[in-house]
Amino acid sequence: MIINDIFAYFSGKTFGRTKLISLSPNKTLEGFFGGALANFIFTYFVVEWAFSKQDYICMIDKVPMAPYAPYYCSDTLSAAYINYE
């Protein structure tokens, strides 16, 4: 959300010509798209980083049905998380 707001502000100030809504006269369509694009790019890199760390990947062996019950992770990764490069 912070990345979106920052890039929406700067792209709106830099490229903004088309007003977005009359309730907020400083909002522009270019700022909206600039913030959205920055948000998608930032999210992509954060997800790539998180899935490269072993500590953030946990294959749950058995999903507990009771509230606050502990869950246990397996030692092996699922085939869905293997990177075939």
All structural domains of the chain with their residue ranges: 2-81
Structure confidence at residue 61 (pLDDT): 59
Question: How many angstroms separate the CA atoms of 3 and 61, rounded?
Answer: 36
- Phi–psi pair at 73, nearest 5 degrees: -100, 145
pLDDT band at 81 (very low <50, low <70, confident <90, very high): low
pLDDT band at 73 (very low <50, low <70, confident <90, very high): low
The tens digit of pLDDT for each residue in 42-69 reads 999 998 888 777 666 666 656 667 888 7
Asked if residue 29 has pLDDT above 70, the reply is yes
Structure confidence at residue 35 (pLDDT): 94
Contacts of 42 (CB under 8 A, 6+ apart): 3
Question: How many angstroms separate the CA atoms of 11 and 37, rounded?
Answer: 10
